[in-house]
């Protein structure tokens, strides 16, 4: 599968030299604070689908190119145009159907990150607004720099967010009072607050330090058995959404195939021999 | 709808002069530490139903009148009487049916706050016991003073809480060890602990400072598009209770009508012109 | 029911002298850092089933014997043997069915703690690895010493955890970024971090101080009405897994029998008389 | 509770002389084929709420007055007016919110029949179109005459049905091909077909024979313990909507109060003595 | 596993000579119309647990010994005693807890049939009342003789059924009007009606013919791959209780191990060679 | 959207001359009894995606080309090859992951029919085995000829069906005894039985008569408002999988946009004027 090159217009993709199986993705539309326009969503979906099925990839870091922003969110002008294009259709119900399908497609581009079978770490700095929050709730681990500026921005443009943040934020942060407050007010919040409420799990002094640390974490995960790692991502996401007894059952069925892997004896043996095991791709 | 006056015996209702669309509700039974008796529940339900459908209301703050208490909880004497009234019926199953319907009705009075389509902020000080916690888990944002005294009090009167706290607390605070501990022991806890575990999202020095801050937050929210704000409340509550994929779908259907609003272009235009937009009532 | 003695090979069971109705369970395989082997699971299930139905028990503390560990997790040698025993069967699907049933049985041993109708407090010190986390997510309250060393260890042996931690951890800790990070990396974390993210609700200076404090909490809970306490445990667990409206309904049905208890008037009367009430066993 | 008279404009309410506890409700707007206009919904809700809480009522039959119709559905003119009234509001999102609340209120009027704690039998003849199907899927037992003319009519007026039929029909008839066919085509179907697919459970020669038979069934049910009957209705409805294991659990909790009734020993004793037992009201 | 003999007091267990892997279970308390008393439930649970894990068993038929009854239901005298034993406990809530646990245990005895990994066919004749219906809704296939007499009997003894029929009947018969009618009225119904509504899938002239036919069906199933058969039972039961998309996902995970079986190539090869394949036990 | 031609290798696509908006799809691999090979699945997905988004399509009939078969199911030789290709990978867990993804992809090809926003009618004749049943449970309406031969064939090739039949059949046929019987035994069943249990909703004398009747039904549906028709399909499918109260809520939100259509007044006006309305495409 690795034959197809990672060639994208708005995303740089680096296989990290020193960290086997780790991929560093950069959102790259620097001149515009990495603001998202429609072709970027579809590229992002295609990219994460490719990463998901590329067996040489085991862990992914996503960050924003340049000094100023992870992403400043959706490009306002583009967004306005989408809204106005719908005015062409005279019938409200037909416009509604058009919009519904449009939102589903957009949601699906972000869900591609959640569906990606490999863990994804978002490393966020500077402007991390609107779409940045939608995107980052779909990854697995969130870290940031101390100068980050977060905002759940959608109410400020007259709409309830509809591409993921309202659906995932209550499940990634266990402080519903805070979730409501920032979602209803669109106010800015910073790194310290994000750490305190559990939106990020680490804060770093600078972008370079953050990227280095995120890559190291990715590298650590990439050393583990991919059977173990990909199963862990899937089972945590599934369990978040299901009653405990049902999640236990799904887990047992999942592992009925997965624990037949040779990785377990490889890992146990390496443990006894105090060396790092190697595992086949998955 | 605004024609009917807000005239309630146990609740003061103020439209805040300087903050358009903001309503300040005070629990007002000061002599009894704002302890709740049965007629107060039904008043509370009627009040929040009225607020929900009054299109001139966009954000609500609820607090307790007087210096001493948000509310000291249910009035013990009243509660005892309800218990003993059930002894009249000889048959256990029939008493059980009576009790079940009674609890449903009582739960419904609190759920009226959750159902209210406008955001509700609870500003709590002093005694905030038992029923205070039940009520406050049904609002959207919780803040308190540093002298507040919280307790999930029900086990101390020989019963498992049945009007909301056990059902909502695990979903508003992401620390199940703490939720269990305070619910099983009925011990007091204060502002600092409440902030640390995420039960409240802010702590204030004094009641007046807290009220002012809560009203300002309400005022900020009231400036936003009501289409955006009410959608955000609904979608966050729905998403809390549903698997992510289902919540995404509900969200897309919801917004198929909502993003056809003129508020979006109004908001975008105001953003470009750096002025505060105005929005029609909803 | 109390007639059968609490006689177990790997668990010490003490009825605490000074704290009526409180039972202290110690994991007792000290020479092996309390590491779990297969017979211990089944003993643990039997023990918690017995505690659940022993009406003289109202609250339980579980800790690890010795200075070094709550439990160092599964005994690696034993685990390897179980893996290799499955190689006997030639057909992958049949091995899969064997494994699935095996996991279900193992899960059930841990779920016995969650099903136990009395509250359970885990007091953890020293090595608290792998299985320790699985076990502790099934209890009600988690506390630890400041020297504790936690790790969600399973990925390090080449497998996704399948006996509970991935299913319960996202529901006991409201910081999904952190949950993912520690589950995917298997890195160690300590008391301070565990407190900050809400995995434990208290940290203590020493093991003896922790045990004393946990027993006092158990003693406090054991003084309350067992109707109230057991209902509270059940309703919190149920509510965690169900939409709010459904949880409210279940709660009303539950209490249609439970609030017919004499414990309520006993508790109210004692409250008025400022004395500690006594309650019948349940 | 029985003090308030059953005085409704569009519904006749008879306590059946010879059948204790049985109430016969007739939809009564004969001149208009019992077509529903808005005030009728609200009356219907009020009526079924009253029946639900009137302890002298144990079983209910609902039919249509006159020779021609159970009900010909919604009054088309009235429906048109509701549609056009929404044109007053300029903003699509605001019209949408208005419509959503309107549908919820309308749905609630029909759900009142499902929520009614006493069994309801719909006896349908002649025109039974549109709203007739919505209404009848919310009752417990459906019977009809051989000359009945059914139609899921909504698509013929340009809309997907939104007050219950699409939500309940797939759960009351286990033939999804047929459910889809009649819902998508709005075609008429008759008694024989309704019986074959399981939409009705009996077909009668004439209206009078049907009414007599429905009343006899209601009378038979009314002779049983109301604890048993009301529990059966609730548990069947709950189980339809929940996984089996969850439904079993809810059932056990429900009966923990209900089987403490004296009705059981009364019923057993009467059984031994071969006489009809009598039971207290509920 | 086959080492332990099938020795039960109230159940005869025959391995059918001519039909490999088929077990015929007979309820055997002929003198009492096979009416169930408490020890029979526990025997039944133990029996089906044993059958589930006995790899030499692939399909099971359950019927009633003697000419007169599948089972006449619960033994009334025994049931009365259980009710009265609860009167010993003075406190309603404590009696309620006792009853709840009792019902759970009883439910679990019936659920053992559903949990049994091998298909179970109920062949019913004569009196098949009350408990007979509870039991039979937990099996996979239901057949009967033309002289069978069915009744959902529980309301006749003053209680809502609580051991399965109300929870499973709406999911095994797609005619909710009929389900409600027979459950609320406790009226008798016969073979023809049972066939028409889909409660049974075949009706036979005589008991011997029915048994023969049921054994032949069991024999046919027992010839298939047990990996295929047991998976089919599990996946149908799971799908009944879950949304389609979730059921599809569970199915894919299940088969990720199961289709690695050698049974598939064995079956395909046998198909080409027009001979009956043989499959290893499971 | 209609610009792209419907050009498929294994499917003929006809816009029916006399029936506006109706599309007739034929499975066309006549020489092989329309047996499915892998490229056909992907074509089928692409085709139904295209039909779903082609606004000139309002109703679809799918049938099999030739005299002998709707489809004889999966091509056995192709299926064997897929199985054996997996033997290349040495590790069971990695093979399992490969298989799981493969099944998901295959399931998705069938789900494309369910997701298609336009109603789909399956008209089945002759051999309709295995895959035929999987496919047909994903359509909306099923009809057949009297000579049809159905079989849920998968257990005969050593596997539990995993692409839809086990997940959807219990929800389209309300006779769980029959569903289990035919799924566990793989026995043939014919038209009369299919009609009786509700698997099909009509049986026709000949293929030509069936096709004509199916097209007429499609034509009737295609005359209705597409807003009404597509909403009806969506709401029925959603309601099948959700509790009634939740389905009602989703329905109200859906229609908040949909009933703002001009189709309603068009339909009402046409009704008064006794003429067939015309509706814009959707």
**Three-class SS string for chain C?**
CCCCCCCCCCEEEEECCCCCCEEEEEECCHHHCCCECHHHHHHHHHHHHHHHHCCCCCEEEEEECCCCEEECCECHHHHHHHHHHHHHCCCHHHHHHHHHHHHHHHHHHHHHHHHCCCCEEEEECEEEECHHHHHHHCCCEEEEECCCEEECCHHHHCCCCCCCHHHHHHHHECEHHHHHHHHHHCCCECHHHHHHHCCCCEEECCHHHHHHHHHHHHHHHHHCCHHHHHHHHHHHHHHHCCCHHHHHHHHHHHHHHHCCCCHHHHHHHHHHHCCCCCCCCC
- Cα(D125)–Cα(D147) distance, integer angstroms: 7
Evaluate if residue A1 carries a pLDDT over 50.
no
B245 touches chain E (CB under 8 A): yes
Question: Which site among A129, A130, A177, A247 would you substitute to test the B interface, given the most B Cβ atoms closer than 10 Å to its Cβ?
Answer: A177
Give the number of beta-carbon pairs within 8 Å between A and F. 64
Evaluate if residue B35 carries a pLDDT over 70.
yes
E251, closest residue in chain A (CA to CA) = A253
Question: Among A250, A256, A260, whose Cβ lies nearest the Cβ of E250?
Answer: A250
CA distance C96 to chain F (A): 10
C92 contacts on F by Cβ (under 8 Å): 92, 95
Evaluate if residue E77 carries a pLDDT over 90.
no
Contact (CB, 8 A) for E225 and F61: no
Evaluate if residue B215 carries a pLDDT over 90.
yes
Contact (CB, 8 A) for F13 and F43: no
Q: pLDDT > 90: what percent of chain F?
A: 91
Evaluate if residue B82 carries a pLDDT over 70.
no
A84 contacts on B by Cβ (under 8 Å): 265
| Chain A partners (3+ C-beta pairs within 8 A) | B, C, D, E, F
Q: What is the pLDDT of residue C89?
A: 73
Q: In the structure, what pLDDT confidence band is assigned to residue A262 with cuts at 50, 70 and 90?
A: very high
Q: What is the mean pLDDT of residues B144-152?
A: 98
Handedness of CA D29, D33, D35, D41 (dihedral sign): positive
DSSP reduced 3-state for D149: strand
Chain centre distance of CA A69: 16
CA distance C145 to chain F (A): 39
A92 contacts on D by Cβ (under 8 Å): 92, 95
Q: What is the pLDDT of residue F259?
A: 94
CA distance F95 to chain D (A): 32
For Cα atoms A263, A268, A271, give the angle at the middle one, nearest 5 degrees.
120
Q: What are phi and psi of D48, to 5 degrees?
A: -75, -30
Q: pLDDT > 70: what percent of chain F?
A: 95
Contact call for F97 and A260, based on CB within 8 A: no
Contact (CB, 8 A) for E58 and E229: yes
B141 contacts on A by Cβ (under 8 Å): 177, 180-181, 184
C158, closest residue in chain F (CA to CA) = F93
Give the number of beta-carbon pairs within 8 Å between D and F. 180
F187, closest residue in chain E (CA to CA) = E220
E263 touches chain C (CB under 8 A): yes
A271 touches chain F (CB under 8 A): no
List, for residues F136-189, the tens digit of each pLDDT value: 999 999 999 999 999 999 999 999 999 999 999 999 999 999 999 999 999 999
Contact call for E260 and F156, based on CB within 8 A: no
A240 contacts on B by Cβ (under 8 Å): 244
List, for residues A89-129, the tens digit of each pLDDT value: 789 999 999 999 999 999 999 999 999 999 999 999 999 99
Residue E138: exposed, middle, or buried by beta-carbon count in 10 A (0-12, 13-18, 19+)?
buried
Q: What is the pLDDT of residue D76?
A: 74
List, for residues D223-242, the tens digit of each pLDDT value: 999 999 999 999 999 999 99
List, for residues A23-45, the tens digit of each pLDDT value: 999 999 999 999 999 999 999 99
For strands F149-151 and F22-27, give the pairing: unpaired
Contact call for D232 and E160, based on CB within 8 A: yes
CA distance D117 to chain E (A): 13
DSSP reduced 3-state for B204: strand
Contact call for E257 and C93, based on CB within 8 A: yes
Give the number of beta-carbon pairs within 8 Å between A and B. 180
List, for residues A225-239, the tens digit of each pLDDT value: 999 999 999 999 999
Contact call for C228 and B159, based on CB within 8 A: yes
- Which residues is A126 bridged to in the sheet? A69
Contact call for A248 and C107, based on CB within 8 A: yes
- Cα(B19)–Cα(D159) distance, integer angstroms: 42
- Cα(B37)–Cα(B10) distance, integer angstroms: 10
F96, closest residue in chain C (CA to CA) = C92
Angle between helices D244-258 and E165-172 (to 10 degrees): 140
List, for residues A67-96, the tens digit of each pLDDT value: 999 999 998 777 666 666 666 678 999 999
Q: What is the pLDDT of residue C150?
A: 98
Q: What is the mean pLDDT of residues A203-217?
A: 98
Q: In the structure, what pLDDT confidence band is assigned to residue E127 with cuts at 50, 70 and 90?
A: very high
CA distance E96 to chain B (A): 10
Contact call for C227 and E280, based on CB within 8 A: no
A235 touches chain C (CB under 8 A): yes
Contact call for B141 and A177, based on CB within 8 A: yes
Q: What is the pLDDT of residue F153?
A: 95
What is the reported pTM?
0.97
Question: Among D200, D228, D243, whose Cβ lies nearest the Cβ of E177?
Answer: D200
Q: What is the pLDDT of residue A79?
A: 65
Question: Which site among F143, F218, F255, F261 would you substitute to test the D interface, given the most D Cβ atoms closer than 10 Å to its Cβ?
Answer: F255
- Cα(F79)–Cα(A204) distance, integer angstroms: 53
Secondary structure element (H or E) that encloses residue A245, with its range? helix A244-258
CA distance C98 to chain E (A): 9
Evaluate if residue E206 carries a pLDDT over 60.
yes
Handedness of CA F14, F16, F22, F24 (dihedral sign): negative
CA distance F261 to chain A (A): 5
How many other C-beta atoms lie within 10 A of the C-beta of residue E160?
A: 26
Q: What is the pLDDT of residue E80?
A: 66
D249 touches chain E (CB under 8 A): yes
Q: What is the pLDDT of residue A257?
A: 96
Question: Among B53, B94, B263, whose Cβ lies nearest the Cβ of D282?
Answer: B94
Least confident of A223-237, B59-73, D82-96: D82-96
Distance from the first to the final alpha carbon of chain F: 11
Evaluate if residue B202 carries a pLDDT over 90.
yes
* Strand arrangement of the beta sheet that strand A120-124 belongs to: A11-15, A22-27, A59-64, A120-124, A141-145, A202-204
Contact (CB, 8 A) for D114 and D237: yes
Contact (CB, 8 A) for D164 and D107: yes
DSSP reduced 3-state for F21: coil
Portion 158-177 of D in contact with B at CB < 8 A: none
Residue D101: exposed, middle, or buried by beta-carbon count in 10 A (0-12, 13-18, 19+)?
middle
Q: In the structure, what pLDDT confidence band is assigned to residue D83 with cuts at 50, 70 and 90?
A: low
E169, closest residue in chain D (CA to CA) = D236
Contact call for C257 and E93, based on CB within 8 A: yes
E92 contacts on B by Cβ (under 8 Å): 92, 95
Question: Which site among D49, D53, D86, D94 would you substitute to test the B interface, given the most B Cβ atoms closer than 10 Å to its Cβ?
Answer: D94
List, for residues C235-281, the tens digit of each pLDDT value: 999 999 999 999 999 999 999 999 999 999 999 999 889 998 999 99
D256 touches chain A (CB under 8 A): no
Quote the radius of gyration of chain A (alpha carbons, Å): 20
Contact call for B282 and D90, based on CB within 8 A: no
CA distance A171 to chain F (A): 20
Q: What is the pLDDT of residue C88?
A: 66
Portion 46-105 of F in contact with C at CB < 8 A: 92, 95
Least confident of A69-83, B120-134, F250-264: A69-83
Evaluate if residue C1 carries a pLDDT over 60.
no
List, for residues E20-62, the tens digit of each pLDDT value: 999 999 999 999 999 999 999 999 999 999 999 999 999 999 9
B261 touches chain D (CB under 8 A): yes
B250 contacts on F by Cβ (under 8 Å): 250, 253
Contact (CB, 8 A) for F44 and F60: no
Closest CA to B34 of B121, B117, B136: B136
How many other C-beta atoms lie within 10 A of the C-beta of residue C31?
A: 7
Contact call for E199 and F177, based on CB within 8 A: yes
CA distance C231 to chain F (A): 26
Evaluate if residue D1 carries a pLDDT over 50.
no
Q: What is the pLDDT of residue E1?
A: 42
A230 touches chain F (CB under 8 A): yes
CA distance E104 to chain B (A): 19
- Which pair of structure tokens corresponds to residue E2? 């086959």
């Amino acid at each position: 599968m690795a034959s197809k090159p990672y060639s994208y217009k708005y995303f740089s993709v680096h296989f990290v030299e020193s960290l086997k199986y780790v991929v560093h993705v950069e959102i790259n539309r620097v001149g515009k604070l990495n603001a998202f326009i429609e072709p970027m969503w579809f590229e992002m979906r295609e990219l994460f689908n490719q990463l998901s099925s590329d067996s040489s990839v085991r862990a992914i870091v996503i960050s924003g190119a340049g000094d100023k922003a992870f992403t400043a969110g959706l490009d306002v002008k583009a967004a306005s145009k989408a809204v106005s294009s719908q005015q062409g259709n005279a019938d409200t119900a037909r416009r509604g159907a058009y919009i519904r399908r449009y939102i589903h497609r957009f949601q699906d581009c972000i869900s591609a990150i959640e569906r990606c079978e490999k863990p994804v770490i978002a490393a966020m700095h500077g402007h991390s607004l609107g779409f940045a929050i939608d995107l980052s709730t779909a990854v697995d681990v969130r870290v940031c720099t101390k100068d980050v500026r977060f905002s759940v921005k959608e109410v400020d443009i007259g709409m309830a967010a509809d591409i993921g943040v309202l659906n995932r934020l209550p499940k990634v942060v266990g402080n519903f009072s805070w979730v409501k407050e920032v979602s209803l007010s669109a106010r800015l919040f910073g790194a310290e607050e994000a750490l305190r409420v559990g939106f990020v799990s680490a804060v770093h002094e600078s972008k370079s330090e953050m990227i280095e640390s995120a890559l190291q974490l990715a590298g650590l995960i990439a050393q583990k058995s991919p059977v173990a790692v990909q199963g862990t991502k899937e089972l945590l996401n599934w369990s978040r959404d299901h009653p405990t007894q049902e999640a236990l059952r799904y887990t047992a069925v999942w592992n009925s195939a997965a624990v037949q892997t040779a990785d377990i004896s490889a890992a146990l043996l390496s443990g006894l021999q105090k060396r790092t095991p190697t595992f086949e791709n998955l």
